[in-house]
Amino acid sequence: MDESQWPTGADVLVRTLLASGVDTCFANPGTSEMHLVAAIDRAPGMRAILGLFEGVVTGAADGYARLAERPAATLLHLGPGLANGLANLHNARKAGTPVINVVGDHAVRHLQHDAPLASDIDTLARPMSHWVGRAQTPDEVAACTAQAITATQGTPGCIATLVLPADSAWGRTAVSPSIAPKAQAVAPNDDDIEAAASALRQYGSRALLLLGGKALRAEAIRAAFAVAEATGCRVASPGSNARMERGGGLPEVPRIPYAVDAALAFLADVDCIVLMGAPTPVAFFAYPDKPSVLIPENCRVVKAVAPGVDPQVAMAALASICVPEGHRLAYTPRVKATYPSGPLTPDSIAQALAHTLPENAIVVDESVTSGRSIYATMTGSGPFTLLGNMGGSIGFGMPVALGAAVACPDRRVLAMVGDGSAFYTEQALWSLARESANVTVVIFANHNYAILQGEWRNTGAGPTGRAARDMLTLDRPRADWVSLARGHGVAAERVADAAAFAQALTRAHASAGPRLIEVAMA
Amino acid sequence: MDESQWPTGADVLVRTLLASGVDTCFANPGTSEMHLVAAIDRAPGMRAILGLFEGVVTGAADGYARLAERPAATLLHLGPGLANGLANLHNARKAGTPVINVVGDHAVRHLQHDAPLASDIDTLARPMSHWVGRAQTPDEVAACTAQAITATQGTPGCIATLVLPADSAWGRTAVSPSIAPKAQAVAPNDDDIEAAASALRQYGSRALLLLGGKALRAEAIRAAFAVAEATGCRVASPGSNARMERGGGLPEVPRIPYAVDAALAFLADVDCIVLMGAPTPVAFFAYPDKPSVLIPENCRVVKAVAPGVDPQVAMAALASICVPEGHRLAYTPRVKATYPSGPLTPDSIAQALAHTLPENAIVVDESVTSGRSIYATMTGSGPFTLLGNMGGSIGFGMPVALGAAVACPDRRVLAMVGDGSAFYTEQALWSLARESANVTVVIFANHNYAILQGEWRNTGAGPTGRAARDMLTLDRPRADWVSLARGHGVAAERVADAAAFAQALTRAHASAGPRLIEVAMA
C-alpha cells in the first residue's frame, strides 16, 4: 500500500479503542485534536458526545463506566483541557471507575517553543491517573493505546491518561491497530475468606461486615445479610458508594453517617470489622479534637478482599462458608412511600422522591445537606441503582447522570443536586439536552453553602461577619435555575410545596429527554 | 499572653498578606479552609469575593493584578479546587501575572488515611506555579506566606501556590506575621540596549521592534514609535498581549496575525528582530507543512530585555539613545467610528463597539473568530486598555473582566466573548452580579466552534460527518444567553442588527453593574 494511504496515528488509536470494546467518547476537542476528530468521524461505531466544559466530559465518563462496566474514552485539549477535567477524574479515581483519557498535545517539534498552550501535561495527569503514557510517534500509537486500555482494567478500575502529540495523530503508520488483552480475574484468597468467616463467628453482634465497591451489587447484599443471619454480625456500608443496588425487596444496608460524632457512635460497639471491598472508615475531614479513624482503637480489622479481587466474588465465597445450605433470606417488603403534601420539608421531599421513583431508576446523589433524610425513605422503593460521590469534589452529579443515561438509555436517571454543587458543572445541562438524555435533575435551591454554614459553627468563631457571609451564602443574587435550565435548552419548572414537587417529578420522569425541577428550599 | 489567645496560623497568613499589600482575595472555600474564612472575617481590610467555580476565582485574580499591579490571593479547596482553577492559572502564568494561591489541605495527621478529598496537591500545582510551598506547622505560616508573596514579584510576575494544611490554619502560634520584602528592580543592561540600537540603525526598515509585556504601556509605545521615526524600523506586537494601552491618540501597534500563513507574510521581510519584552514569534499550533518559528530562517534576533528587567524601562533607555533630543511624536488623530447600521457583519459589529466605547474602558478580548476585525476599527477610540489571552485556554474573558472591574471600579469593562469560550466559566456572571461589577459582557453567539471549523478544513478531511459535526457545532440546542444571564442575576438583551447593538451597548455601558448582550451571529 502506498504510504499516503496508510492510516494516521489517530485512526489507529480509534480503531484500537473500538477493537477493545471502547465505543463511546466524551469529548471537548481543540485544534490539536482535530485529526482525532477526523478519525472518529471516519470510524463507524464510535459515538462522540460533546461537553462544553471538560468537567462534564470526565464526569460523564465516570457515570458511563459505573453502569456499562467498561470504560469510555475522553478527548481533551492539552494541559488546560485536562486540568478542567481533573476534579471529576479525582472522583472517578476514588470510585474505582475505569476511564481512558486521550489528551492532545503540540507536535513534538513544536513543544520546545513554549507556545501559548504548552504545559507539562504528564505532571498534571499523574495525581489523578494510575497510568500516564505518551505516543511519541505514529508507530507507537497502537501499543500505547492498548496499554492504556489494559491499565484501566481490574477491580477497582483505574484511570489511564494517554498523551497524543499532534504529529503522532496526523502522521501515518503501517503498524496495525491492537486489541488490549483482558485483565485476568484474581480469585479470592481462601485464607482471607476463612479469616473473615471465623472473625464474624467469633465476634458475632460485635462484628461489622462493611460492604464496599462491588459487594454492594444485589446478590452480594443478599449474601451479606444471609451471613449476618448465620453469624449474628451487623452489615453496613460507607456513607457514600460508587454504585449500590437498592430497593425492590433488597435488604437495607445501613450507612456510616457523615458527621464524625454520629459515625463514632455508629461504630462504638464494633470490636471487629471485616472489610468487604470497603476501606477502614475514616473521617471526611479532620477536626481539632476529633479522631481521623472512626473505628474504636482496639478494633480488629480483617481484610476479606485482597487487591485485584472482585468483592462480589469474595462475598459469595464468604457466604458459601457461613450460610447453611437451603437458607432463604427473609423477604424485605416493599412499602410504597406516602404521597406527600404540605410544605417542603426534608421528610416531604424524601416522600415525593420515593413515591415517584420509576422502577429500575438510576439515582445520582449529590444532594449534600438537603438529601440526608432521603436515603432511609427510599427503603421501600422498586429496584434502583444509587451512585455516590467518592472523591468529595462537587460538580459531580449532572455529568455523572449524563454518562449513566448514555450507558442505559432505557432507564430513567434522577440526579439530586444541591445548588452550590450544581453550579460547578452547570454546562452539563446543555449536553443532557443535546443527547436527549432521560435525566430528571432536581436542584435543591437553598441559596447557601449549607454544609459550610455547619462547618463554620464547628470552628466556634461565633456569628459570621460580612466577609464570611460573602463566602458562605449564595443568596445575593438568587440564581434562577429555571432560567439556567432553559438557557441550556432543558425544560424546567420550580416547585414550592410537596404535592407540586411530586407532580413535577411524575411529569419529568415520564418525559422523553431531560427535565429540571428547582426545589425552592428557602 | 495566654496561648489560647495567640492568633491561629490562618490569622497570621491573612495578616501577612495585608501587611504586604495584598488586600483582595478571590475565594471558593470548603471545609478545610473554614479557619481561613474565619481569619479573613476577623481581618479588617481584606476583601473576599466568592466565585461559584474556581476558574472564575483564578481568572479574576489574573484580571485584578493586570490592572492593580499587585497580586490578589485566591482561596481554593484542596486538590480538586486547585485543579478547577489551573486553566486560568495557566493563562495568568503565560501573561506574567502575579497570583498567590492559598490551597487548603487536610490536617497533616489526616493525610495518611487517604480520605475522599486527599490528593497530591503539590504535584498538581507545579506545572502552573513558579513557586510551591507548604506550611507544615502554624509556626511556619508567616515565613511561608512571605516567601509566596516575594515569589510572585518581578517582571514578569509569577504564580505562587501555598498549601495550608487545616491544622496549620487552626493551630495557634507565637510567630508574628511577616512583611514580604519588595523585589529589587533590575536595571536594563547597557550592552543589550546598545546592541538593540545599533541593530535597528543597521537594518532600518528591515528591522522589527517587537513590543511585549510592559513595553505596551502608553509611554513605551510612544517611545517605540519615536525610535521607529529615528531609525526607520517597523514596530509591532504579538497577536495577543497581557495588557496593552490603545486609543486616545496613541500610535497604532500592528499585531502579528494569528493564522500562520498571514504571520509568515507579515514577517517575511524582517532581517532583524529586536525583542522588547516579547518572545520570538512562534505559531500557536503546529501544522504538518508549516514552520513553528515565524521569522525568516536567517533573521537576526536581538534580545533587548534581560530576565527581570522591566520592558518599559528598557524601552525608555533605548529611546534615550536613538531619539534626537526635542523630538515630538506626530499626533495620531482620533477618528470616531461611524455609527453602524444594517445587518450584523464583522465591520458593523466593530463599528458599534468602537463607536460606543467609553473613555478609559478596559476591554477584555476573548472574541476568537468573531472579533478579528475589531482590533483595527478601534484605532480612533478614546484611551482604553486591552487585555488579551496569553495562554490560549478559553473561559478566560468573563473571570478576567470581573477581576479588572474589582481593581478599577471607576472604569467600564467590556468583555467580548465567543459563545464557545463563554460556556467554560459562565458562573462568572453570578459573581459579576454579586459584586455589581461595571462590566458589559458581549457574547458573540454563532452557536459554533467556528475556530475549529477552520481547523477542520485545514486537515483536508473533506465535509464533516455526523460525529465531527457533533463535536464542532453548538446549535443543537441553541443556548439562550439572555436566559443564562438572567438565571445568574445579570440583566440581558439580544440584538440582531447593528443599530440595535450600538443602542444596547450604550445602555449597558451607562448602567451600574453588569449587563450582557447576546449578539445573534447566526
Residues of A in contact with B120 (CB under 8 A): 126-127
Judge contact between B48 and B42, C-beta under 8 A.
no
- The beta-carbon neighbor of A393 closest among B80, B106, B113 is B80
Q: What percent of chain A has pLDDT over 90?
A: 88
To probe the interface with A, which of B4, B40, B62, B110 has the most A CB atoms within 10 Å? B110
User: Nearest by CB to B471, which of A37, A110, A483?
Assistant: A37
Could you tell me which of B338, B368, B366, B370 has the C-alpha nearest to residue B352?
B338
Least CB–CB distance from B423: residue in A53, A123, A478: A53
| ipTM, 2 dp | 0.97
The mean pLDDT value of chain A amounts to 95
Span A310-339, average pLDDT: 87
Read off the pLDDT of residues A206-237 as tens digits, 9 standing for 90 and up.
999 999 999 999 999 999 999 999 999 999 99
Residue A333 has pLDDT above 80, yes or no: no
Give the Cβ contact number of residue B289 at 10 Å: 5
Q: Is the dihedral of CA A231, A237, A242, A245 positive or negative?
A: positive
Judging contacts by C-beta atoms under 8 Å, the chain A residues touching residue B37 are 452, 456, 467-468, 471-472
What is the DSSP code (8-state) at residue B70?
A: S
Element of type H or E holding A123: helix A121-125
B463 touches chain A (CB under 8 A): no
- B481–A468: do the CB atoms touch at under 8 Å? no
Cell match 489528551: residue? A103
Partner A contacted by B222 (CB < 8 A): no
Residue predicted with more confidence, B4 or A421: A421
Q: What is the CATH number of domain B190-322?
A: 3.40.50.1220
What lies within 8 Å, CB to CB, of B292 at 6+ separation is A107, A109, A110, A113, A115, B282, B283, B286
pLDDT for residue B330: 67
Partners of B77 in the β-ladder:
B104
The answer to whether A86 contacts B109, with C-beta atoms less than 8 Å apart, is no
| CATH 3.40.50.970 domain extents, chain A | 3-170, 346-520
Q: Which of A127, A170, A458 sits opposite B123 (nearest CB)?
A: A127
B339 in contact with chain A, both atoms CB, cutoff 8 A? no
CATH of span B346-520:
3.40.50.970
Answer whether A49's CB lies under 8 Å from B470's CB: yes
Helix/strand/coil percentages in chain A, nearest 5: 45, 20, 35
pLDDT score of A270 more than 90:
yes
Q: Which of A:67-96 have CB within 8 Å of B?
A: 75, 79-81, 83-84, 86-87, 90-91, 94
Cβ <8 Å between A465 and B110: no
Write the CB contacts of A126 (distance below 8 Å, at least 6 apart in sequence): A132, B120, B123
Shortest distance, CA B390 to any CA of chain A (angstroms): 6
Q: Where in chain B is the domain with CATH 3.40.50.1220?
A: 190-322
B434:A477 CB<8 A: yes
The Cβ of residue A52 has, within 10 Å, a number of other Cβ atoms equal to 27
Q: What is the pLDDT of residue B369?
A: 73
Beta-bridge partner residues of A361: A384
pLDDT in tens, A117-164: 999 999 999 999 999 999 999 999 999 999 999 999 988 999 999 999
**pLDDT > 70: percent of chain B:** 99
pLDDT in single tens digits along all 522 residues of chain B: 688 899 999 999 999 999 999 999 999 999 999 999 999 999 999 999 999 999 999 999 999 999 999 999 999 999 999 999 999 999 999 999 999 999 999 999 999 999 999 999 999 999 999 999 999 999 999 999 999 999 999 889 999 999 999 999 999 999 999 999 988 889 999 999 999 999 999 999 999 999 999 999 999 999 999 999 999 999 999 999 999 999 998 999 999 999 999 999 999 999 999 999 999 999 999 999 999 999 999 999 999 999 999 999 999 999 999 999 888 776 677 777 888 999 999 899 999 999 999 999 999 999 877 676 788 778 778 999 999 999 999 999 999 999 999 999 999 999 999 999 999 999 999 999 999 999 999 999 999 888 899 889 888 788 899 999 999 999 999 999 999 999 999 999 999 999 999 999 999 999 999 999 999 987
CATH of range A3-170; options 3.40.50.150, 3.40.50.970, 3.40.50.720, 3.30.230.10? 3.40.50.970
C-beta atoms of B126 and A126 within 8 A: no
Place of cell 447566526: B522
**A 162-191 residues inside an 8 A Cβ radius of B:** 166-167, 170
Strand partners for A402: none
Alpha-carbon distance B428 to B398, whole Å?
6
pTM for the model: 0.97
Band (pLDDT 50/70/90 cuts) for residue A330 is low
Over the stretch B37-51, which tens digit does the pLDDT of each residue have? 999 999 999 999 999
Confidence check: pLDDT of A331 > 80? no
Asked if pLDDT for residue A254 goes beyond 90, the answer is yes
3-state secondary structure at position A489? coil
Which pLDDT does position A191 carry in this prediction? Answer: 97
Of A227, A223, A222, A226, the residue nearest A199 (C-alpha)? A227
Q: What is the DSSP string of A265-276?
A: HHHTT-SEEEEE
Dihedral of CA atoms B501, B505, B507, B512 in degrees, nearest 10, equals: 150
- Chain center to CA of A419: 18
| pLDDT of A380 higher than 90 | no
pLDDT of residue B234: 98
pLDDT(A369) > 90: no
Name the residue among A261, A248, A251 with its Cα closest to residue A222.
A251
Q: Considering only CA atoms, which of A36, A102, A28, A22 is closest in space to residue A65?
A: A22
C-alpha cell at B294: 515565524
pLDDT of residue B325: 87
Query: Which helix (DSSP H) or strand (DSSP E) does residue B165 occupy?
Result: strand B159-165
